[in-house]
Structure 1
Amino acid sequence: MAELLYGLGRACAHRARTVIAIWLSLLVAAGASFLLFSGELEGGFSIPGTPTDDVDRLRSEEFSDMGGGSGTVVYRTGDGSPFTDEQREAIADRAERATEVPGVSAAVDPFATEAEREDGARELEEGRAEIDAGLEELDAGQAELDAAREQAEADGTLDLTEAVFDGGQAEIDAGREELEEGLAEVERGESLMEMASGLRMVSEDGDTALVMVSFTDEQMDIPQETRDAVMAVFEDDPVPGTTVDFNSDMAQSLPTLFGPAEVVGVVVAAVVLVIMLGTLVGAGLPLLTALVGVGIATLISMSLSGVVEMSSVTPILGLMLGLAVGIDYALFIVNRHRRQLKQGVEVEESIGLANGTAGNAVVFAGTTVLIALLGLNLTGIGFLGLMGTMGAVAITIAVLVAVTLVPALLSLIGVRILSRRERARLAERASGNGGTAPEPVRPMSTGGALLRAAVAVTALVVVALPALDLRLGMPDGSSEPTDSTQYRAHTIVEEEFGAGNNGTLLVVARLTGGPDEEAAELNAEREQALIAEEIHAFDDVAAVAPIAVSDDQTHAAFQVVPVEGPTSESTERLVHDLRELEPIKGTGTLGVAGVASGNIDISETLDEALPIYLTVVVGMSLVILLLVFRSIFVPIVATLGFILSFFGALGGVVAVYQWGWLGGLIGLENAGPVLNFLPTILAGILFGLAMDYMLFIGTGMREAYVHGAPARAAVVQGFRAGRAVVTAAAIIMVSVFGGFVFSHSVMISSIGFALAFGVLIDAFVVRMLLVPALMHLAGNAAWWLPRWLDRLLPDIDVEGAALERRHAAGAGETGGGDDPRSPEARAGVPAEHR
């Protein structure tokens, strides 16, 4: 591979303008593909086969008018006074006009609904009064009949009139039975009315009203144009004296691909590059190539949104990864090229060598990230696998750009990649006046190594502790920016109607039916009340109301309002309790759906998939590192370091996003559960990046050891060889990921924070503090490998040392003495140890 990349680098350098033209053509083609084929991004997530998905399918099959999604429009008077008659009529008019929007099946007038509720309550009250009056009349008739019977018995005429008395008694009994059935029906109605009292469309003080809009399409399939058209009906013609807001189901806020905060991250990366490389040209090259690569990857991803259901987070994740990794990979090659130029290597030869050595490491590092991302498909979760695949596309393009476009641009720049001062020093060296003695290598002390290891492990464990309290979920309206309509709608509904109204549940129960239609209808009425009472008995239920019965009378649907919001622990507990309830023996347990239920199912499915995925990632880590380092100890240490980094990053996310610690510093206004797919995404991406840093730190240690340096001296030599580039790469990656922390979308912000914090602790605490300390303590044992295993393993030359040896002829002329490009000299190995 190293030789192939060497040739590729020289070919790209020789035909630089052709390579640049090809990449620009690919960028234009990707842009054209985006314009022609891009579709609409999804604002939510779903997993087929979950209990919620099963209930949704049952709902579509059994309840013909309940198959679509919904949204809520929230009206409120500006001065807190009850709505006037004119305002009520205007809101009802807007609701009626909303039904004319294509894709809308219904829009409920809240005032008409409340009037119907009041009429129903009044009818029940009047019905009870009539029944009570009828019972009183029957009681009076019974008393008269009993008195007449006694009189007839006293007169001895009972035998003659007994048939009349029996007929009267039968009539009274029939009337009483009929009235008692009516009373039972009224009591069921009163009970249902009482249980549904928490389901209001107009607040008790009369200053807030909810217009419920139903769509013909499923919630995930509602076109944004339909939502916008509905919102325009209410926004474009405002009702005087009122405000109008829309909940998150209606006004989905899709995160933007790139904003001011992300620009700040790129600027910080540029500053780091200038400091490290010393020239604006050198700093601009990695940024330029990364932008070209990420532009192509993002446009390809967006163009596929027309043929696959793609979440809005998917292309942003690819952008985030492509930008950070693209800068770093280009930096590795540019940095190697600069070092070689300063050693006197000719430009084109140096480009080839940099591509065959650092480029080889880039390909290997990119492959580890690629495998980890594609491994997300093993979870069996569609949207997560698609995220991994699109991220893998971004990584692949970043690697290809690094090993082709970077050499081409380096060829055009020539020696200007070095600063004037560095070029002057190079000239002095060529005249024989340069050269300095290598810095002596002194291993760290054993006591210092123990202290470093103890401090690193303690810090990582403390940071990871909050992860024990991890709760997974999806952001709701409360997580939106406080100036957004979704946040205002969420807050108003919670204040006026209760938190549970922001995440109502749909519960479906199976009924017993009957031998004929009349019996089935009668059973359905009774069983609806029975099931509603069973549901209402839960402490976490605020209200319940029957909303539909299937045409064949075999299923009933209920709307259930939890006491707390959709992301609360009590609502999660309620969903499980309802799914375990069997109100009518033999009909099976209840089915639960709704946004809150769907998010709970997604979270639990992801939670179950995470251990399997982590096992795969950890196993893959051990195999990869075993091949690279040919050691038993190093893979174990590196993998344990990754695990500590992963849980440390999760702990930081829990502390900030779930507990709310320091949330104000990043603009986080409301804490809540951690994004449900974040741990899985974090495991895949952080694994790949951690292996990158381990590669660039650890291979220098191995190379020094293999070429004769004592084990503990090799640790210091390898660390010195890789620390500068790893430090710069980590700072750049933290800066790029950190820019996304300030996104208005909590999903994007939490992913950016997790990746930035994970890279920070993995690069600086694990790879540059813990690993060297443990390697020192292990000494020669760190590189032990059974001979039989050594013979079986292929020889992977990640750093391209063999390539350097093959192309080292004549290099001694550049600096006198030792070959400056030899692995031994580059690692700083003293001559006596070679």
Structure 2
Amino acid sequence: MITTLIGPAMRAPKLVLVLVGVAFLVCGALGSQASARLSNGGFVATDSESARVADILGRDYNMSGMQLVLTVESDGGVQGAASTARGRDIDEQLRGDSRVSKVVSPWTDPQLSGLLVSRDKRIGLIVASVRGDENIAPAAAHDLAGAFVGSRDGVTIHAGGQAMVLAETGQQTEKDLAIAEAIALPLTVLLLIWFLRSAVAAAIPFITGIAAIAGTSAVLYLLTFVVELSVFALNITTAIGLALAIDYSLLIIGRYREEIAGGRDRDAALVLAMQRGGRAVAFSGTTVGIALIGMSFFPMAFLRSLAYAGLAVVALSIVLTLTMVPVLLTLLGERINRKPLREARPVQEGFLYRVARTVQRRPVLCALPVLALLVLFGSPIFGLKLGLPDDRVLPSSVQSRQVGDLLRDRFADNATGTVHIVVSPTGGGADPGDLGVYSAVLSTVPEVQAVTGPAGSFAGGQPAGPADPTARHGDSAHLTVSSKVDPYSEQGQRQLDALHAIPKPAGTQVLFGGLAQQTADSTAGIKEGFPKAVVWIAVTTFILLLLLTGSVVLPLKALVLNVLSLSATFGALVWIFQDGHLGGLGTLATGYTIATLPVLLFCVAFGLSMDYEVFLLARFTEEWKRSGRTRADNDDAVALGIARSGRIVTAAALLMAVIFVGIASSGVTMNRMLGVGLALAVLMDATLVRMVLVPAFMRLLGTANWWAPARSRPLLEKAALRE
């Protein structure tokens, strides 16, 4: 297949390049429309308890949509003439807007003043439920807020709430992508020129990478017609596509130059480079794709969408590498080399070869400190706590983040912490009196302000106000639990557990909703899907590496080392971002890690780390199979493989790290954590693991590295993945 792709490149390279150019323009035109079609949410499974409650509230209680919170602040106080006039005016306009299903404010709902007025009485809250899902409500909320925010007549209005957070996260993510590209692309060009010692040679991976960006954006646009696709795919998959296209191009160019240096003519060198290097590219891309498929085992649309998008982008990177690189090599020819490569010094004189031999002479002495360092880095992972993203993922300059800070700092109760409970009859139905008793007991849970429903309003176990006549639909009831705590915090989760523990009325089904329940559902979904994803990735990766190497031992070694380096990466992220060390690298430490991030980082980083492992194992296997297969030959295969592929692996890792640092420049905490995590993972993997632990372990195991059951060898030889 790879040889078939080379034919057109060698016979008609200009025609192929023109076709690729046309495709680039088409992809650019399509991709420019992608951001407008991306989803802002998807962090909670659609069949979760909180999602079911949201559906019931929208269908039966006219409470569909997401929260828009407007703060009305004035020196004259909430009850001053200016605040009252402005607050009533906004309340009236929102109630008359078809995009809003419900509005509460201290000026029209005085019984809620304790919840909606700040402790210093200067700020009042208008809380509106905006109709629509995570794709519709944020845009509507942003449009609604635009008509009110700002200062006028001594009153200042700011907008926040979950709907605004999602809207501004999408806007920030789009801005961050432009900044990331502005950082990564120039540095990538400079590093490519440095690594390849030629501006002409550097143009090949750079052009391929630019084509990957255009192609990725087009892929994202087309995928939005098939699946709900997260706005975070814009940054993540663009970075993956750019990184892989450049890495794979480097591998092909490095192998092409090596064959030229070995005395082959250009055509023969290109064929061999594409056969052997192209095999590693196709195989490596498959392992990355396998890791990304792991995200599809989770119930959240956010992770599933990234799995589909990532898989498509990996396939695109492989296709671009196997088509554009041979075309450009054919057209540019010897111009990619500043000096004849046949004069290159022997590989045994190189730095990486000497490092490998040094490690092989004292494998235990070299490996133990590295293992201890990785274990130390990984130790904070035992303190990992999961939660959902809120406004604190945004920079402090963003409006919805400022509103969130106000709610946490200046209000006795948390307007976003409301827990919604739907009580539905089962069998013969519930005794109406039991609902009042249930509401009263719920109100005794610590940090609960009040419980309001069709049986009345209760606080501290005692009646505190009239019933809500709109809180009944047929035989079912809706209870509103006003809470004083942050729904994303550990305290919020403990309160939710305490509410769940209250015995429900006989003959009823009780479902919980709200942000605290969404956090619990998301965490449960992660815990449910993670074992399946791990088994899928481990088994399929093992099989592929078995087919690549013919060894049972080498795939196991690769899996163990990958898990070790990933654990160290996770531990470092917990220590920095969750616990707040190093100033959280400019982010606000909330005491928990965004629930979907460990999964995303695990799948992406595992795939990219295995990417380098494939490069090395393919070369080790090639050197081993043409040797006498003794213990000394094993050591030679490892040293030569590291020396010949290690420079490309190191260069590729550094280039990937630069691209991921571009993501880390993001103002969105989740993107920053992901960028830092991926940069740490690839650098750790390409240095400590590949340069020290791999040669140390392979030296200790000797010829046992290549062991496979005798009866399976003929089958493995027949099924081996060849050029």
Return the TM-score normalized by structure 1.
0.78
CA–CA separation in structure 2 for the residues paired with 1:40 and 1:658: 32
Q: Is the 8 A contact 2:248 2:281 kept in 1?
A: yes
Secondary structure of the corresponding residue to residue 589 of structure 2 = coil
Q: 2:450 aligned with 1:531, yes or no?
A: no
Identify the residue that residue 483 of structure 1 maps to in structure 2. 397
Identify the residue that residue 559 of structure 2 maps to in structure 1. 639
Identify the residue that residue 139 of structure 1 maps to in structure 2. none
- For 1:536, give the aligned amino acid: S
Q: Is the 8 A contact 2:551 2:707 kept in 1?
A: yes
Distance 1:37 1:392, change over 3 A: closer
CA–CA separation in structure 2 for the residues paired with 1:217 and 1:390: 25
Q: Is the 8 A contact 1:506 1:594 kept in 2?
A: yes
CA–CA separation in structure 1 for the residues paired with 2:447 and 2:302: 32
Q: Is the 8 A contact 1:326 1:398 kept in 2?
A: yes
- For 1:293, give the aligned amino acid: A
How far does residue 206 in structure 1 lie from its aligned partner after superposition? 2.0
Identify the residue that residue 639 of structure 2 maps to in structure 1. 716
How far does residue 610 in structure 1 lie from its aligned partner after superposition? 0.7
Distance 1:672 1:512, change over 3 A: same
Q: 2:197 aligned with 1:278, yes or no?
A: yes
Q: Is the 8 A contact 2:428 2:507 kept in 1?
A: no
Range moving further from structure 2, 563-572 or 326-335: 563-572
- For 2:709, give the aligned amino acid: P
Q: Is the 8 A contact 1:479 1:671 kept in 2?
A: no
Q: Is the 8 A contact 1:506 1:559 kept in 2?
A: yes
Q: Is the 8 A contact 2:287 2:607 kept in 1?
A: yes
Q: Is the 8 A contact 1:318 1:394 kept in 2?
A: yes
Secondary structure of the corresponding residue to residue 332 of structure 1 = helix
1:785-824 → structure 2 map (5 Å cutoff)? 785-795=708-718, 800=723
- For 1:103, give the aligned amino acid: R
Alignment deviations for residues 103-135 of structure 1 (CA, whole Å, 9 cap, x no partner): 123433422222xx2xxxxxxxxxxxxxxxxxx
Distance 1:537 1:796, change over 3 A: same
Identify the residue that residue 45 of structure 2 maps to in structure 1. 47
How far does residue 773 in structure 1 lie from its aligned partner after superposition? 0.3
Range moving further from structure 2, 386-395 or 227-236: 227-236
2:493 equivalent among 564, 572, 576 = 572
Q: Is the 8 A contact 2:423 2:511 kept in 1?
A: yes
Q: Is the 8 A contact 1:530 1:583 kept in 2?
A: no
Range moving further from structure 2, 541-550 or 768-777: 541-550
Distance 1:576 1:82, change over 3 A: closer
CA–CA separation in structure 2 for the residues paired with 1:752 and 1:779: 37
Distance 1:711 1:34, change over 3 A: closer
Task: Compare CA radii of gyration and give the structure with the larger one.
Answer: 1
Distance 1:279 1:80, change over 3 A: farther
Range moving further from structure 2, 31-40 or 364-373: 31-40
Identify the residue that residue 458 of structure 2 maps to in structure 1. none
Distance 1:394 1:629, change over 3 A: same
1:415 equivalent among 324, 327, 334 = 334
2:521 equivalent among 601, 609, 619 = 601
CA–CA separation in structure 2 for the residues paired with 1:293 and 1:462: 37
CA–CA separation in structure 1 for the residues paired with 2:599 and 2:443: 37
How far does residue 82 in structure 1 lie from its aligned partner after superposition? 5.2
Identify the residue that residue 693 of structure 1 maps to in structure 2. 612
1:32-71 → structure 2 map (5 Å cutoff)? 32-34=29-31, 39-45=36-42, 46-63=44-61, 65-71=62-68
How far does residue 267 in structure 1 lie from its aligned partner after superposition? 3.0
Q: 2:377 aligned with 1:470, yes or no?
A: no
Secondary structure of the corresponding residue to residue 692 of structure 1 = helix
How far does residue 779 in structure 1 lie from its aligned partner after superposition? 1.4
Identify the residue that residue 706 of structure 2 maps to in structure 1. 783
- For 2:22, give the aligned amino acid: S
CA–CA separation in structure 2 for the residues paired with 1:637 and 1:273: 31
1:210 equivalent among 118, 121, 125 = 125
Identify the residue that residue 74 of structure 1 maps to in structure 2. 71
Q: 2:662 aligned with 1:739, yes or no?
A: yes
Range moving further from structure 2, 450-459 or 95-104: 95-104
Q: 2:120 aligned with 1:201, yes or no?
A: no
Secondary structure of the corresponding residue to residue 260 of structure 1 = helix
Alignment deviations for residues 489-517 of structure 1 (CA, whole Å, 9 cap, x no partner): 011111222463333221223469999xx
How far does residue 528 in structure 1 lie from its aligned partner after superposition? 4.6
Q: Is the 8 A contact 1:289 1:401 kept in 2?
A: yes
Alignment deviations for residues 748-773 of structure 1 (CA, whole Å, 9 cap, x no partner): 22222222222122222222211110
Identify the residue that residue 550 of structure 2 maps to in structure 1. 630
Identify the residue that residue 502 of structure 2 maps to in structure 1. 581
CA–CA separation in structure 1 for the residues paired with 2:573 and 2:251: 30
Secondary structure of the corresponding residue to residue 500 of structure 1 = coil
Alignment deviations for residues 596-647 of structure 1 (CA, whole Å, 9 cap, x no partner): 3213202220122112211221122221222212222211111101111222
CA–CA separation in structure 2 for the residues paired with 1:474 and 1:5: 45
Identify the residue that residue 456 of structure 2 maps to in structure 1. none
Distance 1:435 1:320, change over 3 A: closer
Q: Is the 8 A contact 1:444 1:716 kept in 2?
A: no
Distance 1:513 1:49, change over 3 A: closer
Paired residues, what number?
695
Secondary structure of the corresponding residue to residue 109 of structure 2 = helix
Q: 2:93 aligned with 1:97, yes or no?
A: yes
Q: 2:313 aligned with 1:390, yes or no?
A: no
How far does residue 214 in structure 1 lie from its aligned partner after superposition? 2.1
Secondary structure of the corresponding residue to residue 212 of structure 1 = strand
CA–CA separation in structure 2 for the residues paired with 1:795 and 1:612: 30
Q: 2:12 aligned with 1:15, yes or no?
A: yes
How far does residue 208 in structure 1 lie from its aligned partner after superposition? 0.3
How far does residue 580 in structure 1 lie from its aligned partner after superposition? 3.6
CA–CA separation in structure 1 for the residues paired with 2:272 and 2:685: 29
- For 1:5, give the aligned amino acid: I
- For 2:50, give the aligned amino acid: T
Identify the residue that residue 807 of structure 1 maps to in structure 2. none
How far does residue 93 in structure 1 lie from its aligned partner after superposition? 0.9
Q: 2:615 aligned with 1:617, yes or no?
A: no
Secondary structure of the corresponding residue to residue 250 of structure 1 = helix
- For 2:213, give the aligned amino acid: V
How far does residue 731 in structure 1 lie from its aligned partner after superposition? 0.8
1:304-323 → structure 2 map (5 Å cutoff)? 304-306=223-225, 308-323=227-242
CA–CA separation in structure 1 for the residues paired with 2:82 and 2:231: 41
CA–CA separation in structure 1 for the residues paired with 2:307 and 2:204: 27
1:146-225 → structure 2 map (5 Å cutoff)? 199-218=114-133, 220-225=134-139
Distance 1:80 1:752, change over 3 A: farther
Runs of 5+ in structure 1 lacking a partner?
118-195, 801-834
How far does residue 36 in structure 1 lie from its aligned partner after superposition? 7.2
CA–CA separation in structure 1 for the residues paired with 2:60 and 2:582: 49
Distance 1:696 1:217, change over 3 A: closer
How far does residue 374 in structure 1 lie from its aligned partner after superposition? 2.7
Q: Is the 8 A contact 2:78 2:124 kept in 1?
A: no
How far does residue 777 in structure 1 lie from its aligned partner after superposition? 0.8
Q: 2:690 aligned with 1:767, yes or no?
A: yes
Identity of aligned residues (%): 26
Distance 1:690 1:232, change over 3 A: closer
1:213-362 → structure 2 map (5 Å cutoff)? 213-218=128-133, 220-235=134-149, 238-251=152-165, 252-253=167-168, 254=170, 255-256=173-174, 258-306=177-225, 308-362=227-281
Return the TM-score normalized by structure 2.
0.89
CA–CA separation in structure 1 for the residues paired with 2:699 and 2:557: 12
Identify the residue that residue 6 of structure 1 maps to in structure 2. 3
CA-atom RMSD, angstroms? 2.8
Distance 1:740 1:632, change over 3 A: same
